[in-house]
Every structure is written in C-alpha cells, then in structure tokens.
C-alpha cells in the first residue's frame, strides 16, 4: 500500500446524501483537485443503483462537478482488475447508502477495496454516506439491531450511527451499552458530515448535528483525535 503521512480528506455522512443542504460537498470536490466524483452504489445494489448514480450526478453537476458511476455491485465486480484500476486512479471516491452488510461483503479484502485504501493514502478524497459511512469504519454498527460487527476498517475504533435524528432510541441504547474499550461512536444526522482533514483533525458541517460518545458516554469532538 502507498503510505502517506497525510491521507486525503475523509467525510462520514449521516445519510440523505446528495441533497441541497449537503454544503460540505463543495469543499470535498475542491479538496480533490479535480471535477470528477467516482460514485460506487454498491450498498444500493438491490435498490436501483443506477438511480443513485443519477441523483449524485444531478447534485454534483450543480456544483461544477461530474459523476462517474462504477457498478461494483457484487463480489465478482470487486475482484475485477479493471474496476480496481478505476478506483485507484480516482481523486474523489463516494460510497452511497443502502445496505452496509452487503457493502462490506462485496468489498472486504477485495481488489477494489485495496485500490480505495491506496488511493486514500495517496491523497484522494473519500466519502461515505449512511451505509457507506458505517462500513468505512471498524467496528460497524449492525442496522438490524444496533449491535457491533466487523467493518472495513479505513478508520478504526470509530463506529458511525447514521440518520441519528431518526434512529430508533432502542437500537441506539443497545449500541451505546455495547461500546467499551475506548470505542468512539459518532451519531451523525442526515445531510451532515463528520470530516477528517488531511492533517487528521476532525470537524463537522451540514444541516444537523454530530454527537460523539466514548464507551457509551457523551464526549467532545476532540475524542476522535485520540
């Protein structure tokens, strides 16, 4: 893997991506140094992935960008060298919402995932929304009941609870009760991003709020720097 003391910018979005109040997308596009956004609708493989790419295209075109959809929908796709090469060469990679469990099963230890890691460590911008944000972290919150499970691990010891403004209180309580060992949980509202800058510092932007918990207890944003 290509190593870099300062990987690219990372955005963990709480869901309802590619909408008007996602103000942070302008900064992400600028940080990429280009105009193309590579959208992987993997998590929406069974939920009209082409429609997800079209939504992203309309959104980014209004911001002066262009979207390229890469249909990595199953494990075979994720192991194709051609697909991996496209990801490796991208400067802005966006994982959309859908099923985090499907996303994880498709990308885990695949050629496409290795290419994404290499691109990020080489300075590319990476964003994930809802399922995309959940799976980028390890551990990952299981949306079926709020338990913790294995994620892809681009960011470790951080778990994302998306759609925090609509998430079931019962599932949230279970997640917090299982958190231990210094685990940090970021509860992110829709159309809101938790952004890791190239220097490793974190900030928030967007329509809603981001709340940080350590071992299930409220904490400051600075806790992510530990």
Instruction: Tell me whether residue 211 is in a domain.
Output: yes
Domain that holds residue 172: 10-219
Place of tokens 């959940």: 134
Instruction: Tell me whether residue 203 is in a domain.
Output: yes
DSSP class of residue 138 equals E
- The pLDDT tens digits of the residues spanning 116-174 come to 999 999 999 999 999 999 999 999 998 888 888 999 999 999 999 999 998 777 777 77
pLDDT of residue 179: 76
Place of tokens 């230890």: 109
Instruction: Tell me whether residue 4 is in a domain.
Output: no
Query: 124: domain CATH number?
Result: 3.40.50.880
User: Band of the pLDDT at 182, cuts 50, 70, 90?
Assistant: confident
* Count of domains for the chain: 1
Place of tokens 């295209």: 57
- The pLDDT tens digits of the residues spanning 65-93 come to 999 999 999 999 999 999 999 999 999 99
Instruction: Tell me whether residue 3 is in a domain.
Output: no
Q: What angle do CA 75, 73, 97 make, to 5 degrees?
A: 120
Helix (H) or strand (E) holding 115: helix 111-121
First-to-last C-alpha distance (Å) of the chain: 24
Instruction: Tell me whether residue 96 is in a domain.
Output: yes
User: Band of the pLDDT at 4, cuts 50, 70, 90?
Assistant: low
pLDDT exceeds 90 at position 215: no
User: Band of the pLDDT at 41, cuts 50, 70, 90?
Assistant: very high
Would the CA dihedral through 16, 130, 6, 82 be positive or negative? negative
pLDDT of residue 1: 39
CB 44 within 8 A of CB 56: no
Instruction: Tell me whether residue 224 is in a domain.
Output: no
Instruction: Tell me whether residue 5 is in a domain.
Output: no
DSSP class of residue 206 equals E
Instruction: Tell me whether residue 2 is in a domain.
Output: no
User: Band of the pLDDT at 20, cuts 50, 70, 90?
Assistant: very high
């Amino acid at each position: 893997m290509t190593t870099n003391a300062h990987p690219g910018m990372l955005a963990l979005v709480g869901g309802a991506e590619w909408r008007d109040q996602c103000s942070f997308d302008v900064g992400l596009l600028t940080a990429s140094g280009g105009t193309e956004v590579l959208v992987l609708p993997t998590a929406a493989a069974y939920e009209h992935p082409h429609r997800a790419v079209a939504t992203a295209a309309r959104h980014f075109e209004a911001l002066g960008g262009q979207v390229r959809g890469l249909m990595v929908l199953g494990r075979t796709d994720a192991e194709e060298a051609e697909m991996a090469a496209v990801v490796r060469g991208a400067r802005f990679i966006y994982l959309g919402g859908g099923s985090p469990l499907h996303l994880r099963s498709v990308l885990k230890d695949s050629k496409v995932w290795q290419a994404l890691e290499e691109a990020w460590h080489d300075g590319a911008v990476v964003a994930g929304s809802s399922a995309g944000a959940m799976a980028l972290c390890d551990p990952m919150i299981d949306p079926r009941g709020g338990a913790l499970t294995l994620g892809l691990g681009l960011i470790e010891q951080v778990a994302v609870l998306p759609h925090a403004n609509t998430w079931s209180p019962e599932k949230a309580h279970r997640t917090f009760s299982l958190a231990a060992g210094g685990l940090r949980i970021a509860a992110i509202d829709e159309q809101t991003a938790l952004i890791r800058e190239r220097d490793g510092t974190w900030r928030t932007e967007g329509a809603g709020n981001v709340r940080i918990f350590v071992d299930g207890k409220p904490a400051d944003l600075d806790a992510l720097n530990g």
